[in-house]
């Protein structure tokens, strides 16, 4: 907080060296994330795909920190990289060899998927460039964990409780579906 605060005091998020540094960091992270995501969906080896997923998730945690959302960034590392990826690795190992080396997508299917994803990207990017072409981020200081906690337990208490019940239901459901007998 102190380093960030001094940086903010030195130069707020509009203009100056801090912005240059932020843009360089953003460019680096974005390139790494896009490359890893592309490798993730194209690689043959499923374990490699899981490791590329780790890089993408870590990159988006870095993006969250860059946007001043420290608690979301930390939660991303804890829940995604710490728990979900481990779950994926277990899933991969338990179903190992189910597809073998013959994970050859049909050429037609790959072409159509490429077409759909490319069209989606073009349409979304066009709409975004049209709408937000000169919207600048105006956040003056990063949000602290305390404000996030206050918000969850006052304004968003009902969704929070609903999420708790949902997690319990998913837990029980997963056990019931996956158990042996």
Partner 1 sequence: MYLNQFLLLSAALFAIGVYGVLARRNGVLVLMSIELILNAVNINLVSFAAFRDSISGEVFALFVIAVAAAEVGVGLAMILLLYRNRRNIDLTEIDLMKG
SS3 95: coil
Using CB under 8 A as the binding rule, whether residue 148 contacts partner 1 is answered as yes
- Report the distance separating Cα 18 and Cα 24, nearest Å: 10
Over its C-alpha atoms, the chain yields an Rg (Å, rounded) of: 21
Are 47 and 92 a contacting pair, CB within 8 Å? Answer: yes
Using CB under 8 A as the binding rule, whether residue 19 contacts partner 1 is answered as yes
Using CB under 8 A as the binding rule, whether residue 76 contacts partner 1 is answered as yes
Are 44 and 103 a contacting pair, CB within 8 Å? Answer: yes
DSSP secondary structure letter of residue 43: -
Contact flags string 103-142 toward partner 1, x per CB under 8 A: x-x---xx-xxx-xxx-xx--xx--xx--xxxxxxxxx--
* Minimum CB distance to partner 1, residue 170 (Å): 3
Among 5, 6, 16, 23, binds partner 1 (CB under 8 A): 23
Using CB under 8 A as the binding rule, whether residue 77 contacts partner 1 is answered as no
Using CB under 8 A as the binding rule, whether residue 32 contacts partner 1 is answered as no
């Amino acid at each position: 907080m102190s380093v960030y605060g001094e940086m903010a005091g030195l130069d707020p998020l509009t203009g100056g060296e801090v912005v240059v540094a932020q843009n360089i960091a953003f460019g680096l992270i974005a390139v790494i994330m896009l490359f890893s995501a592309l490798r993730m969906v194209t690689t043959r080896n499923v374990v490699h795909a899981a490791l590329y997923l780790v890089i993408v998730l870590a990159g988006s945690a870095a993006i969250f920190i860059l946007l001043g959302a420290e608690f979301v960034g930390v939660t991303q590392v804890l829940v995604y990289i710490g728990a979900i990826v481990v779950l994926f690795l277990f899933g991969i190992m338990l179903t190992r060899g189910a597809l073998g080396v013959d994970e050859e997508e049909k050429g037609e299917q790959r072409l159509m998927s490429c077409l759909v994803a490319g069209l989606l990207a073009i349409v979304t990017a066009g709409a975004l460039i049209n709408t937000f072409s000169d919207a600048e981020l105006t956040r003056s200081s990063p949000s602290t964990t305390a404000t996030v906690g206050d918000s969850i337990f006052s304004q968003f208490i009902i969704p929070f409780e609903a999420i708790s019940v949902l997690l319990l239901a998913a837990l029980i459901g997963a056990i019931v579906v996956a158990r042996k007998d």
